[in-house]
């Protein structure tokens, strides 16, 4: 028997209704899984190309683990500032969502915006400690800091923890002051310091141990005459970053271990530790230390 037209219309309406419900459910599901876009900030302590090749594999792994943990697609873009000041400004003004900073840059940023969140601190062999190096040419007659009187010295950035603050405090501890040097300059980057010392443009310079070792492995003729300790680098979230996202970042960084892909792709294969703002009090002290510029000499 032929169905009346209204029955067919009811069937079509039923199909349309269920299709609409399905579409709305899918749309809601898609909305709930909307992509989380984050920006990770760095500044050029080394060449920009070096920074990208060094950090991108780690960020890719962090993206994947954030996606799994939050059950939403996470994409992390890298933003590399051309200098320390711009890197700090990008974080304090919210241009980036989280950053890797040097200790002195962290203190500067925290002074500018007290609501920044410390996510984690990089580890070195289970400790929050690594070293700055005072380096000379391989064949230099200089063997100790006290022999730097009358010599040319290369610092890094004027905002650098190792490249300025700690190295100048170290020199003052060894009774070497600005007036004792033939000249000194700020070369901005650690690799520039090492290359300039090796080329003979300066008699000595201050740079981080990692860059020193990397240059040496490439045949750059440098030799260590002294070292001094530094607190490892903090990873910091901008003020106002979503609490769930910030907590996920912190948890994933700190929980990384030798069996974890995030640990295996970490910069030094050492992972991260829980940190506190007070870890950087020793750096605050060095930033207030003005002895290097006092007008006294051992000559």
pLDDT tens per residue across span 16-68: 556 665 656 655 554 456 899 999 999 987 778 888 888 999 999 999 999 99
Number of domains in the chain: 2
**Does residue 145 lie in a domain region?**
yes
CATH number at residue 213: 3.40.190.10
Could you read off the pLDDT of 172-218 as tens digits, one per residue?
A: 999 999 999 999 999 999 999 999 999 999 999 999 999 999 999 99
Residue 89 and residue 112 in one domain: yes
Give the domain extent around 260.
36-127+232-277
Residue 52 and residue 76 in one domain: yes
What is the pLDDT at residue 29? 52
Residue 171 and residue 239 in one domain: no
pTM for this model (two decimals) = 0.78
Residue 72 and residue 111 in one domain: yes
**Does residue 5 lie in a domain region?**
no
Whose CA is closest to 196, among 135, 131, 133, 132? 135
């Amino acid at each position: 028997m032929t169905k009346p037209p209204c029955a067919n219309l009811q069937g079509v309406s039923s199909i349309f209704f269920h299709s609409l419900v399905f579409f709305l459910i899918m749309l809601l599901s898609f909305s709930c899984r909307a992509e989380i876009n984050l920006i990770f900030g760095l500044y050029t302590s080394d060449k920009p190309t070096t920074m990208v090749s060094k950090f991108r594999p780690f960020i890719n792994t962090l993206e994947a683990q954030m996606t799994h943990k939050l059950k939403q697609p996470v994409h992390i873009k890298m933003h590399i500032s051309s200098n320390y000041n711009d890197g700090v400004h990008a974080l304090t003004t919210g241009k980036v969502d989280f950053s890797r900073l040097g200790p002195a840059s962290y203190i500067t940023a925290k002074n500018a915006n007290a609501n920044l969140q410390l996510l984690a601190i990089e580890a070195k062999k289970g400790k929050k400690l690594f070293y700055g190096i005072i380096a000379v040419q391989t064949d230099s007659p200089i063997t100790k800091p006290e022999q730097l009187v009358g010599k040319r010295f290369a610092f890094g950035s004027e905002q650098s923890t190792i490249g300025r603050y700690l190295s100048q405090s170290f020199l003052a501890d060894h009774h070497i002051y600005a007036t004792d040097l033939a000249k000194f300059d700020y070369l901005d980057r650690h690799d520039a310091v090492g290359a300039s010392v090796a080329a003979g443009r300066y008699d000595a310079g201050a740079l981080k141990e990692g860059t020193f070792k990397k240059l040496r492995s490439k045949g750059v003729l440098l030799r260590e005459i002294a070292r001094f300790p530094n607190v490892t680098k903090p990873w910091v979230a901008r003020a106002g970053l979503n609490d769930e996202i910030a907590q996920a970042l912190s948890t994933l960084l700190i929980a990384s271990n030798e069996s974890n892909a995030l640990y295996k792709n970490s910069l030094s294969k050492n992972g991260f530790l829980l940190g506190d703002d007070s870890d950087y009090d020793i750096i605050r002290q060095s930033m207030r230390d003005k002895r290097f510029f006092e007008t006294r000499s051992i000559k």
